[in-house]
Amino acid sequence: MLSLLPLWTMAQEYDFAKKVGGNTLYFAILTTGGKNGPTVEVTFPNTEENPWKGYSKPRGQVDIPEVVTPDRSKDKNADPEDDDTTVYKVVSIRYNAFQNCDRITRLTLPSTIKKIEEYAFDGCKRIEYLVCQALEPPRLDESSFDKVDINIPVRVPTGTFEKYKEALGWRVFSEIIEY
């Protein structure tokens, strides 16, 4: 049993990858049905110990999509027999998902995001602009945006300023602007 441990720790942390704009994003399936339908979270490639090792980190404009469908024909991590055409709603961003992706300059989060876990954007020091389309502020950990400049403009939907200004993690940003 112990001899399997090194193989287990090298397991992939994602179920499928998808090219979005000029960046490849990685997704882990959370649910395949139920009350919220099929859902995924944005995650990182490789293992927790070595996220992004051997992969190109996202850069420039990163737009997290509201929904995503796996492209199994191009996914090296997929079972070739799997012809999944399920449309998954993107509901969260996993801990460390973009940690130290320091070439991201603009970030858009979709209306479907409910949670952004610990250190998700830690070390993304070049983010200059953030748009969150969610009507309810996604639940953040205080470390979700560690080392991101708190003076960047954060755009939120009209009528949500007070919610974001009072929400844990969001209230640290000094420039929350409704659009």
**What mean pLDDT is predicted for residues 26-38?**
92
Q: How many domains does the chain have?
A: 1
pLDDT tens sequence across 112-146: 999 999 999 999 999 999 999 999 999 999 999 99
**What's the confidence (pLDDT) of residue 98?**
97
R_g over Cα of the chain: 17
Sign for the CA dihedral angle at 112, 117, 119, 120 comes to negative
Give the pLDDT mean for 35-50.
91
Question: 50 or 38: whose pLDDT is higher?
Answer: 38
**What is the pLDDT, as a whole number, of residue 102?**
96
Which SS3 state, helix, strand or coil, does residue 178 take? Answer: strand
Mean pLDDT over residues 90-109, rounded? Answer: 97
* Between 75 and 68, the higher pLDDT residue: 68
Average pLDDT, the chain: 89
> Which pLDDT band holds residue 1 (cuts at 50, 70, 90)?
very low
pLDDT at 77: 54
Question: CA 63 to CA 132: how far, in whole Å?
Answer: 10
Domain with 7 in it: what CATH number? 3.80.10.10
For 71, the 3-state DSSP assignment is coil
Residue 46, pLDDT score: 87
Identify the helix (H) or strand (E) that includes residue 175. Answer: strand 175-178
Q: Looking at residues 141-164, what average pLDDT do you find?
A: 97
Q: How does DSSP assign 9-52, residue by residue?
A: HT--S-SEEEEETTEEEEEEEEEESSTT-EEEEEE-SS-TTSTT
Q: Give the pLDDT confidence score for residue 36 in this predicted structure.
A: 87
Torsion of CA 174, 113, 26, 55, to 10 degrees: 0
The pLDDT score that the predictor gives to residue 85 is 83
> In which residue are the tokens 């610990």 written?
118
**Kind of pairing, strands 67-68 and 88-93?**
antiparallel
List of residues 6+ apart from 22 with CB closer than 8 A: 59, 60, 61
CA gap 97, 43 in Å, rounded: 5
Say yes or no to pLDDT of 2 above 50. no
* Helices and strands of the chain, counted as H and E runs: 2, 12
Whole-number pLDDT of residue 49: 83
Q: Which domain holds residue 159?
A: 2-178
Q: What is the C-alpha separation between 83 and 73, in angstroms, rounded?
A: 8
Residue 12 has pLDDT above 70, yes or no: no
CA distance 60 to 50: 22
